[in-house]
Structure 1
Amino acid sequence: MKKLLLTAAAVFTFGFANAQEGGFKVGINAGMPIGTSGDIYSFTGGVDAAYLWNVGDKFNAGVTTGYAYYSGKEFFGVKVNGGFIPVAGTAQYSVTDNLFAGADLGYGLYAGDGNGDGGFYYQPKFGYQTEKIELYAGYKGVSVTGGSIASVNLGFNYKF
């Protein structure tokens, strides 16, 4: 677990050390697991943090991390909860002043019950934004051995 947290801290330290003009945002999200993930997990929730730099007209890119929790369903008296810590790049394009499309791509470090595998992390999203807040809908997935863990989510971010 220490390695996971150190990796996430290193990504953000690098980002802040190289920051020239950008913005920090933190948020929460909740969703429903879909596909085979819906057979194992009942819901998902998480927290996110990101730092983005303005790299072009209406285009921002940066780094993101957080924690995604997957609440397991009980089978024969056993309940296994899942969790991932994404270490990812993020990009966001403002379609209009208030609408945006974005994506997170990186690696999801496993941080759930028992032993588990991490994998390729991806989250396309679309949302509404103002100067200080974002509301979005997204599809979050982690490709793991034998398939993927996926969910549809609604999220809220506050921008500093």
Structure 2
Amino acid sequence: MKKVILFLAALSIGRSYAQEIPKVEITPKNSWFKAGLISGIPMEKTKDVASFNVGLDVRAQYLFDSHLAVGIASGYNHFFAKDEFEDFGIIPLAGYTRYYFQKEGVFVGVDFGYGFLTNNDESSGGMYFNPQIGYHNDNWNIYGYYQNTFLDNFNIRALGIGATYNIKFK
């Protein structure tokens, strides 16, 4: 898994150096905030300690063209623990990229950064990786995700759905 992530990161960096960097002009047509909710079920070993998760998804996005977007992502993802464990959360701080196939329709994307772990004395967090596939229009994004936070001795994983509303600059 780490090799795949390193490959994708190297590919992204290589693509950015291979292209001429365009002048960035922030306008309501190419930049906006996204805010919404996520909900999911823990996967693999995480399901042994938590029963479900809900959270807030906050993003800032810039479109290079009508298909490729980059931005920063954060929020909070709360995991509701099973009886013998305590609730915990993840605060991601990540960069992301999305590819929109059409003006309205399917998109794919990935968040890559660091997930800060809350309510845990054993670890402060770890690498955060969150691939997504969804549907978008001018106002909404609805997507499925498979969130991964890689800790030293445990990986937190969840499969879920999310929806964000686009708050455009005026």
TM, length-normalised to structure 2: 0.78
1:83 has 2:92 as partner: no
Higher strand share: 1
Q: 2:36 aligns with which of 18, 27, 30?
A: 27
Q: Which amino acid aligns with 1:35?
A: E
CA pair 66-26 structure 1, distance change in 2 beyond 3 A: same
Establish whether residue 95 from structure 1 lines up as the match of residue 101 from structure 2: yes
Q: Which runs of 4+ in 1 moved over 2 A?
A: 112-117
Q: Which residue of 2 aligns with 1:5?
A: none
Alignment of 1:7-18 (within 5 A): none
Q: How does 1:103-118 map to 2 (within 5 A)?
A: 103-118=110-125
Letter in 2 for 1:100: F
Q: Are 2:118 and 2:124, in contact at CA under 8 Å, matched by a contact in 1?
A: no
Instruction: Mark the runs of 5 or more structure 2 residues left unpaired by the alignment.
Output: 1-23
3-state secondary structure, aligned to 2:48: helix
Percent of residue pairs bearing the same amino acid type: 26
Specify the alignment match of 1:7 in structure 2: none
Match of 1:159 in 2: 166
Could you list the per-position Cα deviations for residues 38-81 of structure 1 after superposition, in whole angstroms to 9, with x for gaps in the alignment?
A: 01100011101100111234100011110011111012xxx311
Relative distance call for 1:52 and 1:42 in structure 2 (3 A) is same
Structure 1: unaligned runs, 5 residues or longer: 1-17
Amino acid of the residue matched to residue 70 of structure 1? F
Aligned counterpart, 2:64: 55
Query: How big is the shift at 1:23?
Result: 1.1
Alpha-carbon distance change, 19 to 110 in structure 1, aligned in 2, over 3 angstroms: farther
